[in-house]
Structure 1
Amino acid sequence: MKKALLAGSLAVSAILAGCVGGSGGNDTAGSSNGSGDGGETTISFIHWRGEDKAVFDELISQFEEENPDISVDMTIYPSEQYQSTAQTLLRDGSTGDVFTSFPGSQFEIINRAGLFEDLSGEEFVGNYNEQLITAGQSEDGQQLALPLQLVFNQPVYNATLFEELGLDPNPKSWDEFLALCQELLDAGYTPIAFPGSDIGPGQFMNPMMMNNAPEEDIFDQLMAGEAKLTDEWWVKTLSQFQELNDLGYLNQDSLGTNHNGAISLVANEEAAMLATGSYAMAGIKEINPDIDLGLIAPITVAEDEMQWEGINTTTFMLAVNANSEKKEAAKEFVSFLSETEHAETYANETSQHVTVNDVEYESEELSSASEWMDRNTRFQPRYLIPNADVEKAVIASIQSVLGGASPEEAAEEAQQIVDQNIE
């Protein structure tokens, strides 16, 4: 038992060592457990978005000015580590008085561990669009977390280039999407920058499968044994990934390309589309401020079979740790972030849409992407996979196909993982 505890301690220590320092009196992880001088309460705020550090530093400074008795110590972890370790970090209540959660499997894991404080009765919940915060609710309707970000998980495209080439960014069928890619290739551009080594498979799978399996409960059916990855909907999706790759529409060595590399391909105008989502727009614009961007989605079926136009995700869900001894101070900080003025600062400085009401967007990218709020989009299917091992298997099957496996083989391997978890 002592060996097991030591191994667990070493594992958490290694993760803490990989985090990004934040704001507050001390920049090291786990340092926000005590109180400052003069009775000041220090709360720990943990999340995974390193790209948001500057704006959160600004907001935290403003919050501390308005609340001189509360100090906020922010710690940022790499997203993959955060997904796998948040529950461990939160368990004793000393870290993550305020924390964030991904929707889907991480939300379910943290919920089952009883680590969410119920926020249902808090006044600041009314600042949010009630239609956009359901991902943070329990089955019985408790508001356990508040999704701050509204993301569109579908490709970003170079609108300047599309206009120059006279291309329509609204393909209505798979044939039209393939024709669009071919025109880009013929013009000397890589049609799609695909970061296959990290987030690409888990992001691009969403618009690729949205019409192949239009039922929003498809992954519930999968876990109930009522659907299989070896069925047509997933084999077809894998076949279409293979088709894009075989036709040269993905960048070379896509499985060796990370997100930053793929962003650079689009920013440098070597690739026309980036197969991740709206959250990448800011990174592209940082490299190339003169590029105009928009959102596009592949339609993988015939025009008369299309049900969904795109993908939305409400994520970066703000929550209060149920095991925290500083819940009131933690709620004050969540309330501050939930005010329209501060949500607007966050939105415009990070180029993110948010779920808070009455926010005005300043950038052209956010304004242009806002049209997708009124289009027929569905919630990101990947986040509706309730089992983390199954989620990994689904994503791995895409990588297997791009690595040379047949769609049928990759689907069968992934289904074996599903069967093991059902049993």
Structure 2
Amino acid sequence: MFVLLVSSFLVGCSSKESGGNGDSGDGGDETTISFIHWRGEDSEIFKELISKFEDENPNIKVEMTVYPSEQYQSTAQTLLRDGSTGDVFTSFPGSQFEIIKKAGLFEDIAGEAFVDNFSPNLIKAGQADGQQLALPLQLVYNQPVYNKSLFKELGIEPADDWEGFLEMCQTLLDNGYTPIAFPGADIGPGQFMNPMMMNNAPDEEVFAKLMNGEAKLTEEWWVKTLAQFQELSDKGYIAKDALGTKHEGAIALVAQEKAGMLATGSYAMANIKDLNADLELGLLAPITVSADEAKYEGIHTTTFMLAVNSQSKKKDAAKKWIEFLSTPENAENYANSTGQFLTVKDVNYESAELQAAAEWLDKNTRFQPRYLIPNADVEKAVIASIQSVLGGETPEKAAEEAQKIVDQNIN
């Protein structure tokens, strides 16, 4: 039996063990492993999978704890330290991965047979120093979801340059629609920045260079990106109240056919369809340069990285749970229930949304730049500069203020 604890009252709390202290569960004492993550929307399918796993492994129980994503970002390292919580845990790539790696809390799982269940080119985000510290489970596209049905009705085609993107937005606005539903109160700035900057700064090392002083946010690549955010706002393509809009509200705008695009990513498609099953959805990315200058077509991320806590006393049982989740049958069940692309090989995608988005598997996409910022304070400053511009600050001033935070962290 497992206990699901979801919500903000969990600050600083860890799961309580409810089983014995055995490790492998192979004919020995019953053991309970702690599984922690941030995706509350996946709770129901994880309940089903846990039940199936426990039937197949009667000596292992799984206790799941779900934290709000922002809380998980800030508290995961603390939760993991003594090994009593998060025998199996998940990690975001980028700054959180770096923090947990530096704390020595990842168990190297490079030699485990279940690693072969994953596509080798999609698990690099979990590698460091010749080790496989985590296995990304989800493959997502961090770029706008759009209402294909509406676009067809208005005769709009996704644009291949900045002027075309602006014209596309204007057509939506002229016909009474909010062009871009933008959740500026939570995840919008950190998500939409990725396709907005991907061709303005095509060097994938740009944030590494930022951290060693070779690049600055006050240079053209970031000031131009902020200026383009400002242009979208000034022209009414991003609603004036966007900084007060949360993701759920932005999703509802698209589902209610009040907005043409949602500025987050493919992971929101299933949520939109839950509210309006009749919509036909697709993915697009703003191309912020001319068509002949564009290097990338979109953004991808491999995330929800499964890992074993190096401090755990139940590592064998923990590995069994990851092995179970990564078998094609169970991964397929998870994928089609949640509307998520996965990094697991040989998964059949059944939903119309996943099939429609499958074309992006063959496009030239770039790994999410935001997750390549190795410093959490700098990441916050970069995102805050977008919010500042949407709040009325000039791009130059917003970039200057963010660069001050970078300089402080470098020094």
Residue number in structure 1 paired with 2:289: 301
Kept in 2, the 8 Å contact 1:33–1:44? The answer is no
Q: TM-score, normalised by structure 1?
A: 0.93
Whole-Å separation in 2 of the counterparts to 1:284 and 1:122: 37
**Structure 1 residue 336 and structure 2 residue 324: aligned?**
yes
Kept in 2, the 8 Å contact 1:16–1:29? The answer is no
Unaligned runs of 5+ in 2: 1-6, 23-27
Whole-Å separation in 1 of the counterparts to 2:17 and 2:261: 42
Q: What is the 5 A alignment of 1:132-151? A: 132-138=122-128, 140-151=129-140
Residue number in structure 1 paired with 2:64: 74
Q: How many residues align?
A: 400
One-letter amino acid of the structure 1 residue matched with residue 229 of structure 2? F
How far has the Cα of 1:39 moved from its partner? 2.5
Residue number in structure 2 paired with 1:199: 187
Aligned equivalent of 1:267, options 255, 267, 275: 255
- Structure 1 pair 33/136, CA: closer, same or farther in 2 (3 Å)? farther
How far has the Cα of 1:16 moved from its partner? 7.1
Whole-Å separation in 2 of the counterparts to 1:44 and 1:152: 29
Aligned equivalent of 1:35, options 20, 28, 47: 20
Residue number in structure 2 paired with 1:379: 367
**Structure 1 residue 390 and structure 2 residue 378: aligned?**
yes
Whole-Å separation in 1 of the counterparts to 2:30 and 2:14: 19
Residue number in structure 2 paired with 1:166: 155
Residue number in structure 1 paired with 2:142: 153
Aligned equivalent of 1:17, options 1, 4, 9: 9
Kept in 2, the 8 Å contact 1:200–1:275? The answer is yes
Runs of 4+ in 1 over 4 A off after TM superposition: none
Whole-Å separation in 2 of the counterparts to 1:359 and 1:131: 16
Whole-Å separation in 2 of the counterparts to 1:114 and 1:36: 23
Whole-Å separation in 2 of the counterparts to 1:153 and 1:226: 27
Residue number in structure 1 paired with 2:333: 345
Kept in 2, the 8 Å contact 1:118–1:142? The answer is yes
How far has the Cα of 1:251 moved from its partner? 2.2
Q: What is the 5 A alignment of 1:60-71? A: 60-71=50-61
Identity of aligned residues (%): 71
For the residue of structure 2 that corresponds to 1:39, the secondary structure is coil
For the residue of structure 2 that corresponds to 1:215, the secondary structure is coil
Kept in 2, the 8 Å contact 1:210–1:308? The answer is yes
Residue number in structure 2 paired with 1:422: 410
Unaligned runs of 5+ in 1: 1-14, 20-27
Whole-Å separation in 1 of the counterparts to 2:10 and 2:283: 33
- Structure 1 pair 16/399, CA: closer, same or farther in 2 (3 Å)? closer
Deviations 1:47-88 (A, max 9, x none): 000000000000000000000000000000000000011000
Q: What is the 5 A alignment of 1:38-53? A: 39-53=29-43
Q: Compute the RMSD of aligned alpha carbons.
A: 1.5
Kept in 1, the 8 Å contact 2:332–2:349? The answer is yes
Q: What is the 5 A alignment of 1:44-123? A: 44-123=34-113
Aligned equivalent of 1:288, options 259, 276, 280: 276
Kept in 2, the 8 Å contact 1:191–1:250? The answer is yes
Whole-Å separation in 2 of the counterparts to 1:89 and 1:18: 11
- Structure 1 pair 226/36, CA: closer, same or farther in 2 (3 Å)? closer
How far has the Cα of 1:36 moved from its partner? 8.2
How far has the Cα of 1:290 moved from its partner? 0.7
Kept in 1, the 8 Å contact 2:14–2:79? The answer is no
Q: What is the 5 A alignment of 1:182-221? A: 182-221=170-209
How far has the Cα of 1:198 moved from its partner? 0.2
Deviations 1:150-185 (A, max 9, x none): 00000000011011111112x111000000000111
Kept in 2, the 8 Å contact 1:87–1:109? The answer is yes
One-letter amino acid of the structure 1 residue matched with residue 74 of structure 2? S
For the residue of structure 2 that corresponds to 1:418, the secondary structure is helix
Kept in 2, the 8 Å contact 1:33–1:95? The answer is no
- Structure 1 pair 35/363, CA: closer, same or farther in 2 (3 Å)? same
Deviations 1:70-128 (A, max 9, x none): 00000000000000110000000000000000000000100000000000000000010
Whole-Å separation in 2 of the counterparts to 1:346 and 1:340: 10
